[in-house]
């Protein structure tokens, strides 16, 4: 039965838990200020076009807005909300996402199949793990990653149009196939990198760059990994002192840094 507010159904008389729209033809969701939780699949496959989140919202449960084909804009910047697995998966028109500021463990499959997503800034999020987060966002070109990110797992950026990425030095684990079928050709390895799976598999990466403070064990592991798998990938120190020690001309050094920026 439930309780109604603005054509939304709530589980309780205090309007804490929203279970979805009263009709799947509702275009705008304007939640009760008390709303804390939006239940799993609450708005999945609905015709919702606009969502107004209360500042005190705490959780978007799994697939809460998955496959909302008309949803274009999400602003969670005034909230501390937790995003559970797949909450915006399949929102094929989603172009704009403003991230919440709350600390959370991971973003799992959050934006899979968001075909219209081209650029996204997660720098204000305190997230440890990205897993399958952007897989099959076919038009995604750039991502600004969380500053304290530690792990990239699954097919995180696979099957996207990603052309450049800045990996925070805090990352210590790169999983297999994370860059499969992207446009990336150059990356700078994180200084804290310690563990890796086959992260080059299926990628177009041709150049790996590192700085002098990289973990030596990780660097040797990567070199051996490239040798054993016979990848056509160059690995190079890009500290300016190291480049000068190699008697590289300023023209050569400039070209290296231009390649990295592509």
What's the sign of the alpha-carbon dihedral 60, 61, 63, 68? Answer: negative
pLDDT at 24 over 80: no
pLDDT at 64 over 90: yes
pLDDT band, very low/low/confident/very high, at 111 (cuts 50, 70, 90): very high
pLDDT, tens digit, for every residue of 143-165?
999 989 999 999 999 999 999 89
pLDDT band, very low/low/confident/very high, at 2 (cuts 50, 70, 90): confident
pLDDT, tens digit, for every residue of 193-245?
999 899 999 999 998 988 888 888 888 989 999 999 899 999 988 765 555 45
pLDDT band, very low/low/confident/very high, at 258 (cuts 50, 70, 90): low
Pull the structure tokens for residue 111.
Answer: 């934006």
CATH of region 3-237: 3.80.10.10
Residue 88's pLDDT is what? 97
Pull the structure tokens for residue 139.
Answer: 């038009």
Q: What whole-number distance in Å separates Cα of residue 5 and Cα of residue 62?
A: 22
Residue 246's pLDDT is what? 54
Phi-psi region of 132 (alpha: psi -120 to 50; beta: other; left: phi over 0): left
Q: What whole-number distance in Å separates Cα of residue 191 and Cα of residue 189?
A: 6
Q: What whole-number distance in Å separates Cα of residue 11 and Cα of residue 84?
A: 20
Q: What whole-number distance in Å separates Cα of residue 136 and Cα of residue 124?
A: 24
Question: For residues 154 and 135, is the Cβ–Cβ distance under 8 A?
Answer: yes
């Amino acid at each position: 039965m439930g309780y109604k507010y603005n054509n939304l159904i709530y589980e309780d008389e205090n309007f804490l838990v929203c279970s979805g729209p009263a009709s799947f033809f509702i275009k705008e969701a304007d939640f009760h200020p008390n709303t804390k939780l939006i239940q799993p699949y609450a708005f999945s496959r609905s015709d919702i076009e606009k969502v107004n989140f209360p500042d005190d919202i705490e959780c978007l449960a799994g697939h809460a807005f998955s496959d909302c084909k008309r949803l274009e804009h999400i602003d969670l910047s005034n909230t501390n909300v937790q995003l559970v697995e797949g909450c915006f998966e399949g929102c094929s028109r989603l172009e704009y996402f403003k991230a919440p500021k709350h600390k959370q463990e991971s973003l799992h499959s959050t934006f899979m199949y968001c075909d219209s997503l081209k650029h996204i800034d997660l720098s204000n999020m305190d997230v440890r793990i990205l897993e399958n987060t952007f897989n099959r966002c076919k038009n995604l070109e750039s991502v600004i990653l969380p500053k304290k990110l530690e792990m990239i797992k699954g097919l995180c950026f696979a099957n996207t149009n990603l052309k450049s990425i800045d990996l925070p030095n805090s990352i210590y684990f790169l999983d297999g196939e994370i860059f499969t079928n992207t446009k990336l050709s150059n990356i700078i390895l994180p200084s804290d990198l310690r563990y890796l799976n086959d992260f080059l598999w299926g990628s177009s990466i041709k150049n790996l760059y590192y700085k002098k403070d990289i973990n030596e064990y990780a660097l040797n592991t990567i070199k051996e990994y490239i040798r054993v798998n016979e990848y056509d990938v160059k690995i190079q120190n890009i500290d300016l002192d190291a480049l000068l020690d190699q008697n590289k001309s300023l023209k050569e050094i400039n070209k290296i840094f231009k390649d990295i920026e592509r």
